[in-house]
Structure 1
């Protein structure tokens, strides 16, 4: 696959060169050196460069911008792939996947600092061929990403300190989630900086290491939050088990001791059989659920959830079972989504 990609690149380059010479032959004057060898005019030590081609100036400039953007992203991906191999040798695939997520994020972002430095056109029969040179100044763009990264790092450090001031609370988890989001963005900035200006990158060393480390800290903070689940009207512990499963999904610890728990999830649930005169062939069961997350130290309700509806079946017992299953499903899906937004500070 690697050989095939190289072959394709070489063929494309040959086509590009042939097209240029043919165009120059029909035009006047020699083509500028930057078209075939940008680094001869704009040294690689100072610039990242790429040449684009099109039938109009706009298309050529757009092509050059796209080419230099691809160049940066490919170099970033190569850097992260190298890190991935290192991590996989020492720490395993779980760490590796987090590194690759940065590549996905990078692929969606626009690279800053791109300028069109040169343009050149050659007349040919039936139109013109245009060439454009896109540049990234390593010093200027490096300073931009260094400043962006350092600004984020300062905010992340402050958030980590703030989280430690609110231990064992959902507040600390929310603050650290914000820090994780910023740390992922910062990792991306630093990856780009490492490609554009490695010397500047070596100066910026986050105290928290990287986004993975902040995410692990967030997980630890969540695990330190203890919740006692209290269900009135439960059926064989099924509703409690559903809530416990969701809390575990978000790394929150379920406490067996109400007195020492930081929070109590107060749940009231009922499954009530009833009949409808308009439908004598079916039996019905109404389900109603109300839940409130109460902080024990203050008595404040920090999160609520409610669900209600009805189920029908030929028998009353099965109608009730359906109502229970529907409630469990609602907890695993709707409650889970709402609780996730709450714990991440997105509600």
Structure 2
């Protein structure tokens, strides 16, 4: 092989030499005279004090490369999981409503976001092909100094953002603004702590960069404010109103709010939002000899108690069937509790926390017709 390359280099033009260099770029995969030391975790060329590495082994080049990247990724994921206990106060609150994971900041989401950023600094450092065993090896790694510089810059940016949000939360007189800034600051602080864990992994000393705040402290401040200063009231009327109202109150409580139900004595927490809903159920005729069907509809509006301004509206409807009308009604109630009440609670929480806007009345047509053409079901 060496004599063949020497012959070509002597006789090639500039363009031909470029082709030879391209061929040489893959020579690492063609095997060498000896097994590289980095496969066994010892490498003078990539010392642990300067590089954080992972080795991949597979039957093909792409798989070996992928496994090498994955080996580096696992180092960071393991560290984040080990450190996550300090964030439990926030992550537990966020995981209460598990039916809507898109807007939740879960541990899996944290590790994915931070690890993706870390892997931007990882590259394939070396490769080798074991001709006898027909196995491909790849060494992936990052230069600790370069990765540290990028991570320190990212932490500084998050620190500035968190400080701005905490300052605005403490100085504003607007309750909604305070809630949103505290929520965003806590969320950013979780990410910041995850990045700091990555920094400790990157640095050979294992030292990170302390934050000015703690996740548990910000979360406790937010929960305290919601329980004492930002209450809600729920009023649901109509057929089967009681189980629907109970499910809505439970959903809002799981989101962290203090909620009073219809007819409940007023508490000490000021009521900032009033959620008023109606529910109707009635039997319908469907040409089915085995099942009886019930149609249901729900409408709800959310208004600010101070101004009586309607800020959102949610409507849903559907039909459920079972072997008897009574069982069909019970099934419809369960569906309303799961689909309508849970969705409404999440929508209200997303609005309060500044994540998404509530549907407006014009965009949420009434789910209940004015006349059903049948007698409503009893409560």
Asked if these proteins are the same fold (TM beyond 0.5), I'd say: yes
The separation in 2 between residues aligned to 1:160 and 1:67, in whole angstroms, is: 37
In structure 2, the residue matched to 1:68 is: 72
Correspondent of 2:168 among 151, 162, 165 = 162
TM-score normalized by the length of structure 1: 0.66
Correspondent of 1:45 among 44, 49, 54 = 49
Contact kept? 1:50, 1:134, Cα under 8 Å: yes
Partner SS, residue 205 of structure 1: coil
Partner SS, residue 271 of structure 2: coil
Question: Do residues 264 (structure 1) and 274 (structure 2) align?
Answer: yes
In structure 1, the residue matched to 2:153 is: 147
The separation in 2 between residues aligned to 1:49 and 1:71, in whole angstroms, is: 9
Pairing of 1:18-37 with structure 2 (within 5 A)? 29=33, 33-36=37-40
In structure 1, the residue matched to 2:304 is: 295
The separation in 2 between residues aligned to 1:278 and 1:114, in whole angstroms, is: 64
Question: Do residues 118 (structure 1) and 126 (structure 2) align?
Answer: yes
Closer/same/farther in 2, CA of residues 327 and 197 from structure 1, 3 Å limit: same
Q: Cα distance, 1:209 vs. partner?
A: 1.7
Contact kept? 1:173, 1:343, Cα under 8 Å: yes
User: Structure 1 unaligned runs (5+)?
Assistant: 1-25
Correspondent of 2:251 among 226, 246, 251 = 246
Contact kept? 2:90, 2:186, Cα under 8 Å: no
Instruction: Describe the superposition over 1:209-262 as per-residue Cα deviations: whole angstroms up to 9, x where unpaired.
Output: 23x444434433433311122344476744433332222121211244399422
Pairing of 1:4-19 with structure 2 (within 5 A)? none
Partner SS, residue 299 of structure 1: coil
In structure 2, the residue matched to 1:133 is: 139
User: Structure 2 unaligned runs (5+)?
Assistant: 1-29, 94-105, 358-379
Closer/same/farther in 2, CA of residues 276 and 183 from structure 1, 3 Å limit: same
The separation in 1 between residues aligned to 2:299 and 2:250, in whole angstroms, is: 18
The separation in 2 between residues aligned to 1:278 and 1:37, in whole angstroms, is: 72
The separation in 1 between residues aligned to 2:62 and 2:149, in whole angstroms, is: 28
In structure 2, the residue matched to 1:10 is: none
The separation in 2 between residues aligned to 1:314 and 1:27, in whole angstroms, is: 71
Partner SS, residue 124 of structure 2: strand
RMSD over equivalenced CA pairs, Å: 4.5
Contact kept? 1:232, 1:269, Cα under 8 Å: yes
The separation in 2 between residues aligned to 1:209 and 1:342, in whole angstroms, is: 25
Instruction: Describe the superposition over 1:35-58 as per-residue Cα deviations: whole angstroms up to 9, x where unpaired.
Output: 555443333222223444566665
- Please identify, of 141-150 and 31-40, the stretch whose mean Cα deviation from structure 2 is larger: 31-40
The separation in 2 between residues aligned to 1:120 and 1:283, in whole angstroms, is: 69
Q: Cα distance, 1:181 vs. partner?
A: 3.4
Contact kept? 1:291, 1:304, Cα under 8 Å: yes
Correspondent of 1:183 among 189, 214, 234 = 189
Instruction: Describe the superposition over 1:73-97 as per-residue Cα deviations: whole angstroms up to 9, x where unpaired.
Output: 44554x53xx75xx7xxx9x97997
Q: Cα distance, 1:339 vs. partner?
A: 3.3
Closer/same/farther in 2, CA of residues 235 and 63 from structure 1, 3 Å limit: closer
Partner SS, residue 112 of structure 1: helix
Closer/same/farther in 2, CA of residues 288 and 236 from structure 1, 3 Å limit: closer
Contact kept? 1:61, 1:134, Cα under 8 Å: yes
TM-score normalized by the length of structure 2: 0.61
Question: Do residues 334 (structure 1) and 334 (structure 2) align?
Answer: no
The separation in 2 between residues aligned to 1:178 and 1:254, in whole angstroms, is: 23
Contact kept? 1:263, 1:295, Cα under 8 Å: yes
Closer/same/farther in 2, CA of residues 302 and 56 from structure 1, 3 Å limit: same
In structure 2, the residue matched to 1:195 is: 201
Closer/same/farther in 2, CA of residues 97 and 298 from structure 1, 3 Å limit: closer
